[in-house]
Amino acid sequence: MELTALTLNCWGIAGVSKDRKIRIDAIGNHLQSGCYDFVFLQEVWVEEDFQAIANKVANVMPHSHYFHSGVIGGGICILSKAKIIDVFFHAWSLNGYVHKIQHGDWFGGKGVGLCTVIYHGLKINLYVTHLHAEYNPASDEYHAHRVVQAFETSQMIRYTRNKADVCILGGDLNTEPGSLAYRLICDHTSLQDLYLATGKPDSEGTTSETPANSYTAIESLNVCPNGKRIDFVMASSREGLHIETVNVNIPLPSRIPGYSFSYSDHEAVCAKFRIVENQPSVANEIRSKELSIWSLKEALQVCDSALRNLSNDRRNYWLAFGLFIVLLSTLPFSYDGSRIVHYTLTVTHLFLTLVAVFCLIMATLWNRIELHGILAGKLAIMTRLKFLENL
């Protein structure tokens, strides 16, 4: 049988995303076509937007689930033609920094969501996820976070796929093909990147910062003229079944009909694939094991580097805390002369106190939280690596 799945990062941040309500309405109108069996959406940060889309498509995809998490919601949801019989959500142990308000990933409480359905006699696991954004490719401070998130995603899929005939993952991985996070997901779950089977170059399947998108900044095109392929539909099957890609394309036009802007700052990805009977290949299993070991060893190096950086950060925050305490102790707490000088001293004391408290929190509580998150990921990676090496 053939299945059709679509994934789209909707860019639905209240008060920030441009033209949000019009775009959400247009996305719902497109999905009303009934062309898709399953739809995976990300960055639907406003629950009313999810309800609006779900109501629009109720005739063609009557089943849906929104994954609540974090401060502003997980932002991810699944729409399905098939009845959803079970759901589960795993929030990642590492998800950015609470003080990086301009990035906002921590407040989203991101993770990976699972909906299980029975469709045409097959038990299908539907996974949707949205990994941490990169923000600065030249100095990616979230590399270790994204690597741990990717490995935890692969763990969840491995732990929940046993009784499933087919697994489908749709989402914005914020990482390009061949990168470590991408390989951790593919190598450790047997998921196929369905676009690769089309034989098309990555430049034709780009989904983020593309030249055709109305929201792409000129600065982004100067760095990467063709954009990036970071949104994926992946699939795998149990032994005895095989996934064959029929077609993968960008289904949405570059502009919403009647408007001068796009549906989102990302492009949607539509994958049509066929499920056929097949026998597993021993050679493929050996190759998969080799790739898994390679990516796990690289992931351990990333974790070790992040742990060293955390140790340095902890020392620097303690030094900064000590410096601000010294400055506070040297400044007078009151001044009987000019009122302006008195107010300036008061504001300076307040500022230095706040910064000192911030440095103290970062050197103690937050440093320990991030340390334990990376250590947990490292130990899990080491356990998996030892098991594969002893096979």
Kindly list the catalytic residues: 266
Give the Å distances, CA to CA, from 289 to 193, 295, 311.
17, 10, 33
Tokens at residue 355, please?
Answer: 């910064």
Contact (Cβ atoms closer than 8 angstroms) between residue 110 and residue 69: yes
- 296, with CB counted inside 10 A (0-12, 13-18, 19+), is buried
Phi, psi of 175 (to 5 degrees): -155, 145
Which residues lie below 8 Å from residue 296, measured CB to CB, with a gap of 6+? 184, 188, 381, 384, 385, 388
The continuous run of DSSP H or E covering 6 comes out as: strand 2-12
The continuous run of DSSP H or E covering 126 comes out as: strand 122-130
Contact (Cβ atoms closer than 8 angstroms) between residue 277 and residue 242: yes
Residue type, 71: V
Long-range pairs for 345-348: beta carbons < 8 A, 24 or more residues apart: none
What angle do the packed helices 143-160 and 367-389 form, to 10 degrees? 50
Q: Give dist(CA 359, CA 319) in Å, integer.
A: 9
Q: Give dist(CA 153, CA 236) in Å, integer.
A: 15
- Indicate the DSSP class of residue 249: E
Q: Is 74 helix (H, G, I), strand (E, B) or coil?
A: coil
Tokens at residue 96, please?
Answer: 């950015």
Cα 199 to the chain's mean position, in Å?
25
